[in-house]
Every structure is written in C-alpha cells, then in structure tokens.
Amino acid sequence: MSSIRLEGVRKQFESRAGAVVALAPTDLAIAEREMVVLLGPSGCGKTTLLRLIAGLIPPTEGRVQVAGRDLWTGDRRDPAAVADLGVVFQDANLFPWYTVERNIAMPLAMRGVGRAARQARARELAKMVGIAGFGQRWPRELSGGMRQRAAIARALSYEPSILLMDEPFGALDAMTRDTMNLELQRIWTETGCTIVLVTHSIGEAVFLADRIVLLSPRPGRIAHVATVDFPRPRGPEVQADPKFAALCADLRGRLDRM
C-alpha cells in the first residue's frame, strides 16, 4: 500500500507579475517505509511539492492522499490525514520561548499527553537524536546542527508514520551533514517511517534514497526517477563504490542538461 499518492497535482501561484506554475500536473506514489529524495536545481518546485504533501498549501488541481485519505476536501484540510505527518523545515523553527525539551514535547502537549509522560518521551528522543543533556537549554544556546536535531526530535515526538524534510541539513557543514545523514538512516530504520527528503546535494540523495525523484524547472515537473539499491544499512564506504560514482555522474549530467 502506498502511504502518499499524488494524482494530477498542479500548483500555480498568483503573483503581481502574473501566474507562476510551480508544479506541472504530477503523479507520484510513495510506498510505506520508503525513503524518497526530491532532487533538483533551485526553483524547480521541490519545496512546493513537499508543502503540498504536508498540506501546508492546497493544490490548484489534482488530489493529494496520505495513508489513503484525501488531504483536502474543497479548501478544508482533513486533520486526521495530517496527523500522520511530521515536518522538518530548512530552518529548525524551534520556538525560542520554550526550552529544548518543551519544544520537543510541544506536539505531545497539544495532544493532551500528561506532563510526566511528555518529559520522559522528550528525553528519550533527545537521546536518540544525540542531544541528551541539552533539554533545559534555550534553543539559542544550541548550535545549528543541534537545533536541527531538536527539530527532528519534535517531528518524531508523536510518532508520525511519514516524515517530510525540506533540506534539513542545508545549513550545516559537510562533515556534520555526513554524520546527520548516518543518524537519519538509523532513525529511519528504528522508527520504520516513510521519509520524503528534499536536497540540493547529489551525494546526499544517492547515499540516503531508495528512490530519487529528479525535478526540472519551469514549470516544475518530474524529469527522471532513479532507483538506488545499495544494501542497508549504508556506511560511508558506499561512497567508494564505483556504482555510487556512476549514479552521481549520471544525475549530474541530467541536472546539467536542464
């Protein structure tokens, strides 16, 4: 069964300069527990596609289904369909007025989970994403990478079956990024969730993905889909595999020709 299904989804933004088609009619099905990476040049509609799946913006045409439920009926969002989704944005977007722990536990508080249970869960998650012991700090006291980890923990707190991530490690240096990718793979294995991740980095895409969806710009549309079948769990040594380099080169070529 597919956990996310898009049928003829089109998105057009109205602006003063006229209408911009950010996404041409697109079909896409993502299976449960799949790791799909959206890759493409700047402005090709990756964020738009992810925000459509997240239900943050309604499609101009077409339907978006999550776990078999339509996200939108008319211009109303189905709260039950969104409940399955966890979103991690490019900026961590932690609330500066809450401690790290309260940030992580906030979705649980909003769902009426008791204080003690919330705190226990937040600690557990902080440990899982590698920021144990920083729970009582303010977000501004954390480094960018740590804030991003906290944002992931927040998105995982209510155990969504689907995790949507928009360039979550975009602001990090290459080394931290590699570590975060390894961690992400581990978290994905541990939680068994479906992940849709947006990135600019070809290497990151090939390292993480089961399937890479390559988008091309003006108007945004799916240009190519590549299946990646290196065995899991993947370690840094995959990057030395000649097949890895070949796949990267192929994608590089396709991106250059856009």
Partner 1 sequence: MRARLEWIASPLLLLVLLGFWQWYVTAAHVSAFILPPPTAVWSGFVYLVGLKSTWVHVWVTIEETVAGFVLAAVAGVLIGVPVGKLRWLERTLNPFIIASQVVPKVALVPLFIVWFGFGSTSKIVVSAVIAFFPIFTNTVLGVKSIEAGHRDVMTSLNASRLARFTRLELPSAAPYILTGMEVGIVLAIIGCVVAQFLGGNAGLGYLLVAEMNAYQTDLLFAVILLLTLVGFAFYAAIGAARRVLIPWHSSGQAQP
Ligand X SMILES: Nc1ncnc2c1ncn2[C@@H]1O[C@H](COP(=O)(O)OP(=O)(O)OP(=O)(O)O)[C@@H](O)[C@H]1O
For tokens 């995982």, the residue is 156
Quick check: 214 and 200 in contact, CB under 8 A? no
Identify the three-state secondary structure at position 248: helix
SS3 readout for 71-127: CEECCEECHHHHCCEEEECCCCCCCCCCCHHHHHHHHHHHCCCCHHHHHHHHHHHHH
With CB under 5 to 8 Å by kind, the binding choice for 82 among partner 1, Mg ion, ligand X, none is: partner 1
Task: Return the structure tokens found at 158.
Answer: 């209510």
- The least distance separating Mg ion from the CB of residue 44, rounded to whole angstroms, comes to 9
Q: Indicate left, alpha or beta for 93 from its phi (over 0: left) and psi (-120 to 50: alpha).
A: left
- Which of 74, 79, 231, 242 binds partner 1 (CB under 8 A)? It is 79
Nearer to partner 1, 103 or 185 (CB): 103
- Dist. CA 30–CA 14, nearest whole Å: 29
- Told to check if 112 binds partner 1 by CB under 8 A, we report no
Q: How far is CA 202 from the centre of its chain?
A: 16
Interface stretch with partner 1, choices 25-33, 85-93, 118-126, 217-225 (CB under 8 A): 85-93
- Dist. CA 241–CA 220, nearest whole Å: 32
- Dist. CA 258–CA 253, nearest whole Å: 9
- Dist. CA 54–CA 64, nearest whole Å: 9
The contact mask relative to partner 1 for 34-63 (x = CB under 8 A, - = no) is --------------------xxx-------
- Which of 2, 12, 93, 119 binds partner 1 (CB under 8 A)? It is 93
- Told to check if 82 binds partner 1 by CB under 8 A, we report yes
- Told to check if 87 binds partner 1 by CB under 8 A, we report yes
The contact mask relative to partner 1 for 190-229 (x = CB under 8 A, - = no) is ----------------------------------------
- The least distance separating ligand X from the CB of residue 40, rounded to whole angstroms, comes to 6
Nearer to ligand X, 122 or 198 (CB): 198
Judged by the rule CB under 8 A, the positions of this chain that interact with partner 1 are 54-56, 79, 82-83, 85-87, 89, 91, 93, 95-98, 106-107, 110, 138, 140
Judged by the rule CB under 6 A, the positions of this chain that interact with ligand X are 13, 15, 20, 22, 40, 42-48, 200, 220
